[in-house]
Structure 1
Amino acid sequence: MSASVTTLYQLLENMKVHCRWFDAGHRISKLSPSQWQQFEDGHIAYPQPYLKHAYLGLAFWPEDDQRKQQVQLWCLRFPLDEQGKLDLASRDQFLKHLLTALSSNLEAAKKDEQLTAVLEGNPYVFKPSDEKQANLHAVVSQQLKQPHSAFMSTVLNYFAHPEGDDWQQLGIQGLADLACRWLDHQNDICKAIPQLPSPVLCSFCHCLEHHAINGMVADALLSRLENNDDKAEQIALLRGISHCQDNARIESALNLVLSSPVIMDVEMLVSLSSRCSQQLITEKYALVFLEHLAAAGNDIFAAVMQELLFQAPLREPLLGYIRSPDRSETLSQAIGHLFSQPKHTEPQAEQKH
């Protein structure tokens, strides 16, 4: 490894490129350069760990490219230690592999034709799902003030008249672009939500979950969630509402699913744990959720709880709730099984959740 390059942050500075950092785990969100630098220096835990990894979307372009026509997007995944901090040995291995591929020519990484060769075989590169990739591209293009894709116009036209089988021609990139620009089109979105076919509704909600929608859009989703017995729609609608600016709307969605048979579905439990964790560590919901999770079986309980307990802000509140004297025998047994598990579990490949 080059003696002058010891961090990814430093590498990009040496390349003289502009950068934007994004968390690409459960929810796509912007990371500040200082957040990444502090994390890479080992000073802070990763803000949003996912499967005990830091999932990073890194967009960069040459300083002399004022129109941002040469934007590169790297998707990287780094393991975290028990404290949620960067495993420095893995980062060093990534840099060594990268610099070897570049033959120490940092300028080569700026060129489109070099990108595949530079990252080929690097074990810390991951390929997002099509849905995640579309949403990442939508967020990056909006952040960089670039135009949306051509697919969004087709989606907008459909949302104006959501009928027939035309929905089968809609692309996920167009739905992601519209979700990213929800504020500019909230009236059209709210009018369309009651009429959207289930596949379109679910895909669109999976895109909306990356954005802090307002109460107006959330209310349209809540209206569709009420008296809804379609499992896929219920899960998708919860995800679409989960990042709402108004916590009361999120709680309304929680109340609906917690009183519905869908709460016994494993996919709903996983969606709740990953999208609504801040609400689930409150006294109002914690024990109710833990009891439902325990009812799903010891292995499911252990897998979900290990992921939640890995996140520092959630650990202490959850440990407090699982010590509650009001817990059922089923929950007590699930907790006993949890703490009999090995402390370290091997991270999985990216999942759809």
Structure 2
Amino acid sequence: MSISQFVAGTGAEMRVFDLGRRISAIDVAEFEAFENLARPYHSPYLRHAWVGILSWNPQEPGQHNIWFLKLPLDEQNILQPGPRDAFLQHWLQVIAAPDKEHGEAPCSFKPDGNRMAYFHSQALRELNQPATRFYTTARAYLSGDTGWDNWQQLGLQGLAEVVARLDQENNSNLLASALPHMPEVPRNVILGFLENACPDVALTIALSDGLAEAMRSNADAATLAAYCRAMSASVSVDHRQQILDVVLAHPHASSLELLSAIGSRCWNDLEGARLNSYLESLAKAGAETFMALVADLMTLPGMRGRILEAFRHPQRSETLSTAIGALMAGARGGVQ
């Protein structure tokens, strides 16, 4: 039995979300194929599929169920079914003996507060439910009506709902106009939520301007990383790739936080000369960082071939050549 079959057997419908690198919807048919071992997971993170499953029964309005699961994958990113089966067995026991204490279900995990807020925002949209009262408060703040320094009353939920509804009530333009005025704390919260969204061109330009200002003011690597993540799924491919080129030429380019952000969120744009620049920065960051982030990138669809091609680049630096040699030596040692 699969999770999809289990949910269908209760008469419920479900939606599935990837919660690994970013929070995004997964087609139910695609998830079913993954569960049936017919296809690899499309966006693995740390050798797992991190998913949020929202289910509800149309005959019971207002009632819904949420599971957060961390499902182990094999070397080809195919589901290892044993832990998933243990999760289902747990819930079958819960149904059979609902008054008994069963403990935590296998494979369960609890997202942090920011991811919970954004997932909840997505769930409200899927269930066609209205936004919370925090949404109205957040929009009033972003309009400047309440004063830019009066952000302490804002809740994560309200800001998450604005980002989750960029296509509604002119929210994208509202956010683009607000970003230059926002203090660091609420701005960074917004940037964190935007990594799960697809900013339009106008919002991407506002983010790009914010990043340029951050560079002029010698902002730390964490701030640059936040902007990169926020633009990682922008609809404007040219803009986001230009930004990466600028960031990879910055003095902070070899910082672990920035390299991790680019590798985990911006990997779709790492190819050709841009990938070469990224690998050079990784090599400068040290052997441990290089091995860990390259290994993670190689689990992503299409990246292994790109990376192996970059490894053969004739003009790579001695630092990168040494890092590649250590990586290959470690791989051979693992095989033995």
Shift of 1:145: 1.8
Question: Which of 143, 147, 150 is the matching residue for 2:126?
Answer: 143
C-alpha separation in 1, matches of 2:195 and 2:157: 15
The number of aligned residues is 327
Aligned to 2:87: 94
- The amino acid across from 1:167 in the alignment is W
Q: What whole-Å deviation, never above 9, does each CA across 1:171-198 have from its counterpart, x for those lacking one? A: 1111110111122212221111101111
Question: Which of 217, 239, 244 is the matching residue for 2:203?
Answer: 217
C-alpha separation in 2, matches of 1:271 and 1:34: 30
Aligned partners of 1:198 and 1:233 also within 8 Å: no
C-alpha separation in 2, matches of 1:227 and 1:136: 31
Structure 2 unpaired stretches of 5+ = none
Aligned partners of 2:148 and 2:181 also within 8 Å: no
Shift of 1:35: 0.5
Aligned partners of 1:226 and 1:256 also within 8 Å: no
Q: Does 1:34 align with 2:29?
A: yes
C-alpha separation in 2, matches of 1:154 and 1:123: 38
Instruction: Give the % identical residues.
Output: 31
Taking structure 1 as reference, are residues 117 and 22 closer, same or farther at Cα in structure 2, changes over 3 Å only? farther
C-alpha separation in 1, matches of 2:327 and 2:121: 39
TM-score, structure 1 normalization: 0.87
Aligned to 1:285: 274
Taking structure 1 as reference, are residues 151 and 340 closer, same or farther at Cα in structure 2, changes over 3 Å only? farther
Shift of 1:101: 2.7
Aligned to 1:111: none
TM-score, structure 2 normalization: 0.92
Aligned partners of 2:16 and 2:28 also within 8 Å: yes
Aligned to 2:19: 24
Question: Which of 230, 243, 248 is the matching residue for 1:253?
Answer: 243
Aligned to 1:321: 310
Aligned to 2:191: 205
Shift of 1:272: 0.4
- The amino acid across from 1:235 in the alignment is A
Aligned to 1:11: 6
Q: What whole-Å deviation, never above 9, does each CA across 1:71-92 have from its counterpart, x for those lacking one? A: 2111011100010000012222
Taking structure 1 as reference, are residues 197 and 319 closer, same or farther at Cα in structure 2, changes over 3 Å only? same
Aligned to 1:75: 68
Q: Does 1:312 align with 2:301?
A: yes
C-alpha separation in 1, matches of 2:332 and 2:190: 37
Higher relative contact order (CA 8 A, sep 6+): 1
C-alpha separation in 2, matches of 1:29 and 1:297: 32
C-alpha separation in 2, matches of 1:196 and 1:337: 45
Question: Which of 222, 229, 237 is the matching residue for 1:239?
Answer: 229
C-alpha separation in 1, matches of 2:205 and 2:332: 42
Aligned partners of 1:138 and 1:177 also within 8 Å: yes
C-alpha separation in 1, matches of 2:118 and 2:332: 33
Q: Which runs of 4+ in 1 moved over 4 A?
A: 342-345
Shift of 1:61: 0.9
Shift of 1:342: 6.1
Question: Which of 44, 50, 55 is the matching residue for 2:45?
Answer: 50
Shift of 1:343: 8.9
Question: Which of 259, 262, 265 is the matching residue for 1:272?
Answer: 262
The SS at the match of 1:75 is strand
Shift of 1:146: 1.3
Cα RMSD of the aligned pairs, angstroms, is 2.1
